[in-house]
Structures are given as structure tokens and as C-alpha cells.
Amino acid sequence: MVMMAGMDEHERKVGVEFYHLLDKSKQLFNGLKELPEYGHKQWHSYFGRIFDIYTKLWKFQQQHRAILDNKYGLKRWQIGEIASKIGQLYYQYYQKTSETSYLHEAYSFYGAIHTRAYYSRAAKEDRSDLMVKKLRYYARFIVVCLLLNKMNVVRDLVQDLEAQIADYNSAYEPDDHVDWTHVLDELKAFVKADSAVAVLRADSNVPVVLPHRLGPLTSPPVERSTPMCLSLQEILIVGNCAKQVKFSEMSIDMFRMLQTLERECQDDPNHLHDGSSGDRMPFRPGPYPSENGASRRDNPHKYILFNPTYNQVQIFLSSGFNELPPNGVLLLYMSADGCFSTVKRPEEMGYDLGGVSTSSKLEHGKQRLQGDKEPECLYPGDLYPFTRKPFFVVVDSDNSFVFQQIPRYFGQPLMVLMSPQDTPAGLRELRNEGGLFTLFLHSPLAAFCLICNVASLPIQHWERCERYVEQFLIEASQLVLRSRCELSVLQFFGDDFLRLLLLRYVFCDVVLHLHRSFRGRQQRPRCHPPLPEAELLEHLSLHHIVLDLANCLDVRDYFPDSNELA
């Protein structure tokens, strides 16, 4: 504690109380590392304590800023550090709850740090550790902006981060400069990959930022019948594509699926802010939903695992399975490289056909013997225990089709959506910028433009084309309800998220089936149980909508003539 001469009793008490709160907050913040990564309720009381102490600290420094500045030499970067930790708290709470309102709160505090330039004098302190804190703040702020789809802010922050890294290297010639340069390169590649197609404003070439979260009109509404009793509650998103662009332990596929499986929060004037003010108080999150699931969140609870071990996947799957309320659905999404079987005569279909790689962290120096199983591979048979409850699986991999072998031993609803195992030669290099199947599930029109070589569109043209996609999804929804689908399909169809995935799957299948470049069954997706061919996937009404969309984009040559569809 730095104390200056000539202080009265009140001023001394202010310093003692401030540094007590500061030390206590740091202790509790460091304790976050000890909290369990999975499960819903074990960590909730701890977050309550830490939010309480930071609320007191933030309020206290506001009320006594003059004394702390003049008598104790409190610096602006120290206030920025407190605000940054509050932002981190909200971000971690969002990770635990999937409530996007906490992302907005994190953005508010991070934005205040930027607007008020709390870290602007960090470089003048001649302390490399302060510069590292500043760089980490920028990286965290960028992650929050990415998740909130604030791409214009992201682009500005990337420029700022690049300048800060250059200053850091110039001033200190640090050992970790290469690491920060690598972070910057990853970030630039990630932002580039995220814009699969550029949608431009009418009066300029400035890109328009498009929403991707579930909104009121995103998924065609349905009148729920008796079988439509299920609700998506638990999600595990797993990513391990070795060459795919990534940033902050999240591949582009994982990022896209995360946004696809979130509902945009409703604006709450008491909670959501634009980051323009740093004077507002942090709020303590309310009680967590009850154990019986009666007060569930708007968004399903999600776990995110990048390049995990097989053990981690099993632990997190088991936790999500255990937390399911009655009629709840567990969704597993995997974007991963395939593990291919060396078994010459498959006997056990759950293990002898291969699976997907969960991790590249471990060195597998020993060459596998003929027929040996890969220890860091997730096989279809590994998922059998989770079919005791409603289970929805999405696999984007070059070995995805092996997951069509999962049996329904327990009679519970099961659905598996599998990506094409191969793509035309001209599109294979795009795998590094994200899986085509995941892009169809995330933004069907962007995927359509990608396979038809449409790099950019004016916003008005994009919106016209979007209406064809909406028309397709509405028509497909009606066909599903009229067709002889298996009961599992209807049971999942009542949930907005799962209905949207199923309908976008249908769009993907129909488009790739019609597209001239995609040939053979390996270049189309599959689902288990299969959807009706004649009544749905080959229905002429859906084919004609796809051709109308192709006409609208002036890419009709990629598709067959109308008489070929007769």
C-alpha cells in the first residue's frame, strides 16, 4: 500500500478498506481455477460471493476515487484491471449458463476500458507485465465481440492489437513476441474465414454484419402435436480439425455452431449496456434455475471442448446426460478429423469401422498393429450408453458415416446428422476455413453462395435470396409433418433449435443432390434414421425453390435443367 503524508483518519480508513477489498477480490478470482468445469450447481454459490466482493470494490473506488488518486496514487490501469476482471467474471458466467445477457455485460465493462483508455499509460510504466495484461485484455475483448457478432468492433480492435504488439516488441524485445504474433495471425485468419460471403451495403463496399442466432422468425413455427414433447437442454460442442483456422481455443466450425445454437437475448434495460460508461455497477446474477428444470434458461447449456482428450469428452458427455431434465435432449456436435479403421473384416460395427479423432495433444509414437483401436478416437460404440435418453448427434468429419450404425437399444429418440465424407476437388481446400456441412447448418445461403462461387452480394440481393431459403424451410417443415417420418423426427421437431437443424439439413441434402459438382453418395450428407426420399428429399416443390434461388443468384448453370427433374 502506497501512503502519502498528511492523511487524516478518514483517508487512512479509506486506504485500508480499499486494499482489503482488492486483496479479497484477487483471492476469490484466483479461486475460480479450482471450480469444476462441468455440472450446473457446484459453482453457483462461489460466483455469488465473488460478484458481491467486486460489486463492493467497484462501488468503493467510485465513491472514494479522489482520495485514492490523490493520497494513494491509484493509477488508471489499476481501475482498468478491476473492470477487466469484472468483464472476465461475466464472460465466465456466460460460459457456465449460456445466457447471452452476460456477454453483453462483459462487453459493457470491456468497452468502458477501451473508451476511457484505462490502459493507455501502461507502456509508460516501464513494466512488461502491464503490457501483457493489456494484450490479454484486447484478446478477451475480441472474443466477446466475436461471440456478439460485433465484427466492425472486432476489425478495429485487431488493428489496435497489432499496434500494441508492435509497441510491446519494440519496448521489451520479449521472449513471447512470437506467441503474440501467432495469436494475431490466427485472429486475422479467423475473421477472414467467418465471412464466407461478403454482404455489402447498397451505398458502399462496407460489409454488413448479419445475425446468426435464433430469432423469433428464424425457425418456421409449427403447431405442436403430442409427439413434439422434447426440448434441447444440454449441448457438447467438440472440435478437433488439425488444419482448421481457430482462435482462443475455438475452431471456426465450433464458433459457427455455438452461434447457431443460441437464442438472442431480449434487451433488458437494467442489464444490457453499450459499454459507453464505466460508472455503472456490476449486477449480481440471480438465482440459478431450480434442480427440477422448471425454470430453465432461454438457451441450452453448452460445454465447449477444443482438442480434448477422449476422457474429457466422456466426462462432459456424462455430466450433460446427468443434468438432463425430463423430456430434455442432449446434443453432441463434433467437427473432427476421421480415425479410420485398420480392421479387415469388421465384426463389431460400433468399433471396427473407425470414428473421429478427439485429440491431437498426445503423441502416438508407436505404430498401431493391424486391428488395434486408436485410444484418442471417439467410436460410435462409445455413444451407446447415452442413448438411454433423447440424443441428437451432429458429425462434420471425413469419416462421419460410421455414426449411422448407432442402434436404439433403449427405445429413446435418436437422431444423427452426418456431413458428406467427401467434397468436389475444387472445394476441398476450403475445409481449412470451415466445414461445408456446418456452414449449411449455420448459414444456408452463405453455403449456397460458396458452392456456386458467389463471393459477394449487395444487401438487397441477399435479402431477396433469403426469402427463397425461408420459403424452402417452411415448405420442408410442412412436408415433414405430412410425410411418414420416424417418430424420433417428430419428437425432436417441436424444439426450435433442433427443428432448424433438421430443416437446414434437408436444404443441404437437396442442394448438394441437385448441384452438378457433387457426385456420388459420399458427397451428400446422411441422417439416421433416414428421412423419406420421395415425400421429402426428392419432392419437386423443394427442387423448384432451389432452382428459383439459383436463378435469383444467376448461377443456374450449376444445376440441371427443369426437364431433367421431371
pLDDT at 377 over 50: yes
Q: Which residues contact 525 (CB under 8 A, 6 or more apart)?
A: 417, 418, 419, 420, 437, 505, 508, 509, 512
Provide the pLDDT confidence category of residue 454 given band limits of 50, 70 and 90. very high
What pTM, to 2 d.p., does this model score?
0.92
Residue range 391-409: mean pLDDT, rounded: 96
- Angle ∠(451,438,376) on CA atoms, nearest 5: 125
Neighbour tally for 408: CB within 10 Å = 15
> pLDDT tens-digit profile of 227-254?
899 999 999 999 998 889 999 899 999 9
Band of the pLDDT at 5, cuts 50, 70, 90? low
For the domain made up of 231-268+297-362+373-565, give the CATH fold: Rossmann fold (3.40.50)
Query: Looking at the predicted structure, is the pLDDT value of residue 277 above 90?
Result: no
- Reported as a single tens digit per residue, the pLDDT across 64-97 is 999 999 999 999 999 999 999 999 999 999 998 8
- Among the residue ranges 56-65, 118-127, 447-456, the one predicted with the least confidence is 118-127
| Lowest-confidence region among 133-142, 422-431, 454-463, 476-485 | 422-431
Chain segment 486-506, per-residue pLDDT in tens = 999 999 999 999 999 999 999
Beta strand ranges found along 315-361 (DSSP E): 328-336, 338-340, 354-357
Which pLDDT band, with edges at 50, 70 and 90, does 369 fall under?
Answer: very low
Handedness of CA 455, 461, 467, 468 (dihedral sign): negative
Number of helices followed by number of strands (H, E) in the chain: 18, 11
CB atoms within 10 A of CB 393: 23
DSSP state of 364: -
Least confident of 350-354, 508-512, 546-550: 350-354
* Phi and psi at residue 456, to the nearest 5°: -150, 155
- Is residue 510 within 8 A of residue 543, CB to CB? The reply is yes
Please list the alpha-helical segments (H only) found in 422-458: 425-428, 436-442, 444-451
Of 316, 509, 323, residue with least CA distance to 420: 509
3-state secondary structure 298-323: CCCEEEEEECCCHHHHHHHHHHHHHH
**How confident is the prediction for the chain on average, in pLDDT?**
89
Residue 269, pLDDT score? 37
Burial class of residue 116 (count of CB atoms within 10 Å of its CB; 0-12, 13-18, 19+): middle
Contacts of 337 (CB under 8 A, 6+ apart): 240, 241, 242, 356, 357, 397, 398
Alpha helices (H) in 246-286, listed in sequence order:
252-260
Predicted local confidence at residue 284, as pLDDT: 58
Vertex 41: Cα angle to 60 and 328 (nearest 5): 135
Supply the pLDDT for residue 490: 94
With 70 as the cut, is the pLDDT of residue 289 above it? no
- 57-71, 311-325, 354-368: range with lowest mean pLDDT: 354-368
Domain ranges of the chain: 9-197, 231-268+297-362+373-565
Give dist(CA 19, CA 281) in Å, integer.
19
Q: Could you give the C-alpha distances from 370 to 279, 337, 340, 342, 345, in angstroms and in order? A: 65, 20, 12, 6, 11
